[in-house]
Structures are given as C-alpha cells and as structure tokens.
Amino acid sequence: MKLILEGRPDIRDVTNDDVLEAIEAMASPHGPTFVILEDDQRNYTQAAGTDGRYVIESRDVYGEGFTHWRAMRDGAGEGAATIRYRQRCPKGKHPPRGCPLKVRAGEVFSLRDVETVLLEFLSSASRTEALRWRDASADFGAAASDDDEIRDIMPGRHL
C-alpha cells in the first residue's frame, strides 16, 4: 500500500504507525487536509477535511473505469454541509485550508472515524462494512465541477 498525504512525500509499504501519524498530522491546525491510502491496483480510501469535520471516500478501480463511494451515517440528515480542505487553493480563491467541498450532512465524520476506516483498509484492502456507502460516481462527471480539474475522460469524446 501507498500513503499519500497532502504536501508530503508518498510512503510505500505503509504501517499502522504511518497511518496514525498521518491522521495526527491532519488534526494539526497547519497540517495536511487530506490523506489517501492506495493499494497496488489503484483502489483507495481517502479522507479530507479540517477542524474535526471530514468526508470519507473510497474508490474501486476496474480497467479504466471506477466506482466512487462516499461514507454515510445511518439515519443522518440529508441536508447540505461543507467540509473545508486544501492547504493551497488551486485557483487562489480561498484561504489555506478553506476550499469548500459540498457534502450531505450525513457524510461528515470525526477524525476517529477516519482512523477506523483507514486502518481497516490497510489491514483488509476493502471498505469497512461498519459504515453505509453511497455510490457517488456521478458526482465525478465533467459537469459536476466548476473547477479546472479533469473529472471525466471518455473515449471518442471531443470537447
């Protein structure tokens, strides 16, 4: 497995201690705002956020396609919420750790939840069954974002 931590070199052959250190760094007011744990097939589980509010996602990769999952709390509200992340806004519009990520209210988790999910992915290479997972793949289409990041690649499509 590989650990990707915002603003830091990637770590290969990740240990539990590496994951715990990464999560502790996320809790720092100047620390990284996202962490990704990726297996050799490019499947991953990730978390992003600041100030005790995090979103947890996972991706199953197959060929050139994927299914993107977002963790949800059972019985949690469907209202809107915002997670803040990114040390540096790619467009220069937001302050450090201030880029907004719109999520559902039931998709906001604590840092302790992040720890549980990442450690389980590290040990099993699969999403935890302790949480409910929503297929959020449609949120990653080209029209889903107003920023300049590539969100969708389709063969034979010309823009």
**pLDDT (tens digit per residue) in 44-75:** 999 999 999 999 999 999 988 999 999 998 77
Question: What integer pLDDT is reported at residue 63 of this predicted model?
Answer: 86
Average pLDDT over residues 124-149: 74
Query: What integer best gives the mean pLDDT of the chain?
Result: 87
Q: Which residue has the higher pLDDT, 119 or 78?
A: 119
- Judged by average pLDDT, the poorest of 35-39, 77-81, 135-139 is 77-81
* pTM of the entire predicted model: 0.85
Phi/psi for 77 (5° steps) reads -65, 155
Contacts of 109 (CB under 8 A, 6+ apart): 47, 53, 54, 55, 56, 71, 73
